[in-house]
Structure 1
Amino acid sequence: MNDKTSENSVSKPGGERLESRIRALLPSLNPSSVRIAKILLDDQAGASRRTMSELAEMAGTSESSVVRTTRALGFHGYAELRLALAAEAARGTTGPQVTGDITPADSLTDVIAKLAGEEMRAISDTAAQLDVDVMGHIIDLMIGARRINIHGSGASGLVAMDLHHKLERIGYPSHVYCDVHGGLTSAALLGTEDVAVGISFSGETNDVIGAMLQAAASGAATVAITNHPRSRLAKLADHVLLPAGAETAFRPGALGSRISQLLTVDCLFVGIAQRTYDRTMRALSLTHEALQSQRTPPRKPPRP
């Protein structure tokens, strides 16, 4: 197992939508930067035409706050941010697009359209922003691991269980923990040949962070799957993958955020299966055959 690096490798923002990047960073911004970010989200085209002083005045803050927000979003200067906003606004006008949160007045048709639009966007944004090099290194670590611990809670616990079942199906030593006691005790027994994966949308779930801190103290390589790059989970992990997708007032544990996590773990699983093709196919064949005995053959319809 490779030694842990001094700085964690993080999936870097690149081809994802600017809107997704802003929403992911909102929880880590200070109040003045949040006001600026919300103006950018509400009207990208209008914001792209404003000067720095105009944006600062509209947000009730200073130009220096605009500069700090610009850098927090990954841009070298305000001019670069304005160009990205203009490009985002132009992309948004190329076809019909449902945006905005669900309101009490929305019809069921609107609800379905908004949910579908949000989830499709979460998938496309996640595919665009996942760092292939970071993912490839994580796949190598998991293939060579003596033991793989996966930690998650709530909706992220469902994703953790999904990854565990996939890995177990192809014969990898995977274990899933959705409670703090089990997670901590197992993490205490890990070593340098092991990998611990923590899944949390916010990156601030204490149960997951506690287990991951223990895993790191035990010498295991640590992997974070979180939508918030400045979260505690992201900062403590050796390697970080950043799905896209937002949770909102009407949709805590939203499908948009969960489906982005599911896409991320699917990519990890398929990457592992692809690199260990013969082993994977043999395991899938054996497990499929074992399950066949539990399937009831279809009954023939009675003769008339």
Structure 2
Amino acid sequence: MWQGSADAQPTTRIAMLAPSMQPSERRVAIAIAEDVDAAIERTAQEIADAVGVGRATVIRTAQTLGYDGYPQLRVALARDRASAVPSPEETGETTMLGALRGAVDRFAARLANTVSAITENELSEFVGALDRADRLLVAANGLSAPVGADLAMRLTSAGRPAEYVADTLGQQITASQLGAGSACLVVSGSGVNRASIDVMTAARASGARVLAITSFPRSPVAESADTALVVAPINDSFRDELLHTSRAALMLVTESVVGLLVRRRGASATAAQMTTLSVLGHSLSE
């Protein structure tokens, strides 16, 4: 069941929840996401007939997405469709620059939903755990690895030393030696990366607190964490997330989390940042 913001777009909810839905509900959700215009016009029974499921399955799917029923889901789809940015295919745009502008506009239109699944309590607990940890390991693999490396550097520059190990076995070895009072922060867009899950298991066995930043609330990474920030994916479906993977939303949230940590730490974080700027300044040449 959807537990995020009531303002989250229905396609965002589908992208985040579809991978963990029951097979029949997943088929309904994917059919809706793939043809929103048709879904708006169809009744629950018509959707059921088109997908090959019972009407009750369509209603359960709408409820899993956080709506009272299918009529409420149709209204939400119509509202979001009216404000959607058209794709290059819809506008007939053929130039590369036009396609680039269209991609940026669509990304910007979805930014409001980036934190729609994050609550105040989760965010406060997450930032507090980063602040209190005696030792912090940041782990990320696959396409999330650059986000993890950047996050570790930003934390360190803000006076919150963070370890980052690129090798997957090295991550597990380090995680297994963290111990109580430490924390392990795993960044995984898909939430199903086996190497990252193994790191979380090793960290927990050591007695460390396990944190996660991911895009899917029912993924193994999200469910294995003590505290998880679920960042809505920019893409409309899990399939698109795999084919056209973007970590831009994760990067935006991780940068903002560091900013919140700096605000929490106050003068000590500001002093650390000034030291970082001094080092950067000495590294520049004329």
CA distance in 1, matches of 2:145, 2:133: 21
Q: 2:10 corresponds to which residue?
A: 18
- Cα pair 1:226 1:241 within 8 Å, conserved: yes
Is 1:168 matched up with 2:156?
yes
- Cα pair 2:9 2:76 within 8 Å, conserved: no
- How far the C-alpha of 1:278 sits from its partner, in A, is 0.4
Equivalent in 145, 165, 179 of residue 191 of structure 1:
179
Q: Which moved more, 1:185-194 or 1:32-41?
A: 32-41
- How far the C-alpha of 1:55 sits from its partner, in A, is 1.2
- Cα pair 2:138 2:162 within 8 Å, conserved: yes
Q: Which moved more, 1:71-80 or 1:202-211?
A: 71-80
- Cα pair 1:195 1:222 within 8 Å, conserved: yes
Aligned partner of residue 293 in structure 1, secondary structure: helix
Q: 1:267 corresponds to which residue?
A: 256
Q: For 1:229, give the aligned amino acid.
A: P
Q: 1:146 corresponds to which residue?
A: 134
**Greater CA radius of gyration, 1 or 2?**
1
Q: Which moved more, 1:169-178 or 1:194-203?
A: 169-178
Q: Structure 1 residues 122, 154: CA separation in 2 closer, same or farther (over 3 Å shift)?
A: farther
Is 1:48 matched up with 2:40?
yes
Scaled by the length of structure 2, what TM-score is found?
A: 0.87
Q: 1:214 corresponds to which residue?
A: 202
Is 1:39 matched up with 2:28?
no
- How far the C-alpha of 1:190 sits from its partner, in A, is 1.6
CA distance in 2, matches of 1:45, 1:225: 32
CA distance in 2, matches of 1:69, 1:187: 39
CA distance in 1, matches of 2:250, 2:270: 25
Aligned partner of residue 160 in structure 2, secondary structure: coil
Q: Structure 1 residues 249, 135: CA separation in 2 closer, same or farther (over 3 Å shift)?
A: closer
- How far the C-alpha of 1:46 sits from its partner, in A, is 3.9
Q: 2:20 corresponds to which residue?
A: 28
Is 1:203 matched up with 2:191?
yes
Q: 2:266 corresponds to which residue?
A: 277
Calculate percent identity across the aligned residue pairs: 26
Equivalent in 202, 207, 229 of residue 241 of structure 1:
229
- Cα pair 1:101 1:250 within 8 Å, conserved: no
- How far the C-alpha of 1:243 sits from its partner, in A, is 1.3
CA distance in 2, matches of 1:127, 1:209: 23
- Cα pair 2:214 2:228 within 8 Å, conserved: yes
- Cα pair 2:126 2:227 within 8 Å, conserved: yes
Q: Which moved more, 1:157-166 or 1:244-253?
A: 244-253
CA distance in 2, matches of 1:178, 1:135: 26
- How far the C-alpha of 1:250 sits from its partner, in A, is 9.6
- 1:52-72 deviations in Å (ceiling 9; x for gaps): 211100111112321332232
Aligned partner of residue 53 in structure 1, secondary structure: helix
Q: Structure 1 residues 100, 34: CA separation in 2 closer, same or farther (over 3 Å shift)?
A: farther
- Larger RCO (CA under 8 A, 6+ residues apart): 1
Question: Which runs of 5 or more structure 2 residues have no equivalent in the other structure?
Answer: none
**What is the number of residues matched between the two proteins?**
280
Aligned partner of residue 53 in structure 2, secondary structure: coil
Q: Structure 1 residues 126, 100: CA separation in 2 closer, same or farther (over 3 Å shift)?
A: farther
Is 1:158 matched up with 2:146?
yes
- How far the C-alpha of 1:248 sits from its partner, in A, is 5.6
Q: 1:120 corresponds to which residue?
A: 108
CA distance in 2, matches of 1:124, 1:20: 11
Q: For 1:51, give the aligned amino acid.
A: T
Is 1:80 matched up with 2:63?
no
Is 1:133 matched up with 2:124?
no
Equivalent in 81, 86, 91 of residue 89 of structure 1:
81
Q: 1:302 corresponds to which residue?
A: none
- 1:84-139 deviations in Å (ceiling 9; x for gaps): 223323433xxxx134899xx96424531342134323432214443232111111
CA distance in 2, matches of 1:98, 1:176: 40
Scaled by the length of structure 1, what TM-score is found?
A: 0.82
Q: For 2:263, give the aligned amino acid.
A: Q
- How far the C-alpha of 1:220 sits from its partner, in A, is 1.6
- Cα pair 1:25 1:230 within 8 Å, conserved: yes
Q: For 1:198, give the aligned amino acid.
A: V
